Amino acid sequence: MQKKPWPLDTRTVSNLIIVLIGILFYFVLYRFDAVRAKISMVTGVLSPFIIGFAIAYLLNTPTTFFEEKVYNKYRHRRTLAIVTVYLLAAAVLAILLNLILPQVWSSAVELVNNMSTYMRGLDALVQDLIIRFNLEGEGINEMLVTYQNFIQSLTDMAIDKVRTSLPQIWNFGVALGSGVVAALTALISSIYMLSGKNRLVPQLKKLIYATIPKKKAAWFLGVCGQANRIFVGFINGKLIDSAIIGVLCFILNLILQIPYNILIAVIIGVTNVIPFFGPIIGAVPCIMILIIVDPWSALRFAVLVLALQQFDGNILGPKILGDSTGLSAIWVLVSIVVCGGLFGFPGMLLGVPTFAVLYALVREWVNHRLKEKGIDGDGNPLLPPREVSGDDESDL
């Protein structure tokens, strides 16, 4: 008589999965450096396709707009929409590079070349303040010397880096060629992803429904849809918000006669994509530069950044982003610190929408468990829904 195989009930399988996850988590923590090195190697190989997916994801919204609103009467509307969006993106990028990049480069070169002159001017200003206001000069001079040495070391480091890199022309050429190939691969893959979206998404749905039970597959697809809405709303809104802040900073720099206005505006605009800490991260190096060039302009710029931060946080940001994440300020802070510490700049940028998705999932799970237990958030029993009679209709 053949023995029946030992049946695995749901609880046994769940406990086994939990044990395996715990072992995997312990292994990842114990061998964190090796795991991170392997992940970095894999992401390095797949980086063209990851960048291509990022490009396609960013351009999906305008492509959908052109496809549904502009070319909806044409037969090849998706192809026309993709060509239009990529041409517009290339034109905008070329205009920005031609207008901004040469001036940013010339400002950076001028700043490095005139660093010694700026240092002497800063030293003369400090000495004049010490004499005029009868200040204790020893401590101030020591701070000034320390600051000057710090800035000078940064400048010398940058110059030495350029000088040591000059003989490595062959390596630079190889790296440049690899970068061009990777960029072309990313561009081509992004075009394929956008053009094949109508086939790729149904294929992924079919795979999910084939491998996961129907109820869990529907829940998972709902979570993916919610995550997509959060990410699209946050990233697009943050890019528009940062562009407006960068342009506004440039205009105000011209009005307040702040040196290196384009360079500073670009730094502020780029770092503003980081929620919460973005203006501070961008303002610190700008103020350090302006202290050397013109201390009074550094003071004006500090007031300007404070005003821009308040305007962005209280007026512009809420108008553009709205409640796209649904997170309170404390959770935004936690997500930026944790994800930024783990993944650097990409973590600081994408940590907020990622944490918003996790927060929504945890909130949904908690509400479901409370409903199953028949209690509310304070542990009190849930009241049955009140029946509405004809006399109460006026209260609705």
Which pLDDT score is estimated for 138?
53
User: CA-to-CA distance for 376 and 367, rounded, in angstroms?
Assistant: 8
Q: Which residues pair with 283 in a beta bridge?
A: none
DSSP for residue 257 = T
DSSP 277-314: THHHHHHHHHHHHHHHH-HHHHHHHHHHHHHHHHHIII
Which pLDDT score is estimated for 176?
52
Q: Which residues pair with 381 in a beta bridge?
A: 375
User: CA-to-CA distance for 59 and 236, rounded, in angstroms?
Assistant: 10
* Residuewise pLDDT in 10s, the chain (396 residues): 445 454 555 567 667 777 788 787 777 667 767 777 777 787 777 888 888 888 888 888 888 888 888 888 887 888 888 889 899 988 888 887 777 777 777 766 776 676 667 666 666 666 666 666 666 555 555 555 565 565 666 666 655 555 555 455 445 455 556 667 777 888 888 888 888 888 888 888 888 888 888 888 888 888 888 888 888 888 888 888 888 888 898 899 889 888 878 888 888 888 888 877 777 888 888 887 787 777 788 888 889 888 888 888 778 877 777 666 667 777 777 887 888 777 777 777 788 888 888 888 888 888 877 787 777 666 677 766 555 455 554 444
Strand positions, DSSP E, the chain? none
DSSP for residue 259 = S
User: CA-to-CA distance for 195 and 63, rounded, in angstroms?
Assistant: 10
Helix/strand/coil for 375: strand
Contacts of 193 (CB under 8 A, 6+ apart): 52, 53, 56, 200
pTM of the predicted model over 0.75: no
Helix/strand/coil for 56: helix
Which pLDDT score is estimated for 1?
46
**Contact status, residue 190 vs residue 59, Cβ threshold 8 Å:** yes
Rg over alpha carbons for the chain, rounded to the nearest Å, is: 28
User: CA-to-CA distance for 45 and 142, rounded, in angstroms?
Assistant: 49
Nearest to 244 by CA among 192, 312, 166: 312
Which pLDDT score is estimated for 172?
47
**Contact status, residue 286 vs residue 268, Cβ threshold 8 Å:** yes
DSSP for residue 324 = S
Contacts of 186 (CB under 8 A, 6+ apart): 47, 48, 49, 51, 52, 55
Buried b (16+ CB within 10 A) or exposed e, 226-238: ebeebbbbbbbbb
Cβ–Cβ contacts within 10 Å for residue 105, how many? Answer: 11
Q: What are the CA-CA distances from residue 47 to residues 39, 181, 204, 232 (Å)?
A: 11, 12, 21, 21
Which pLDDT score is estimated for 87?
92
**Contact status, residue 194 vs residue 59, Cβ threshold 8 Å:** yes
CA 327 to chain centre: 16
Q: Which residues pair with 375 in a beta bridge?
A: 381
DSSP for residue 5 = P
Contacts of 99 (CB under 8 A, 6+ apart): none
Tokens of 55: 């490009």
User: CA-to-CA distance for 85 and 87, rounded, in angstroms?
Assistant: 5
Which pLDDT score is estimated for 157?
63
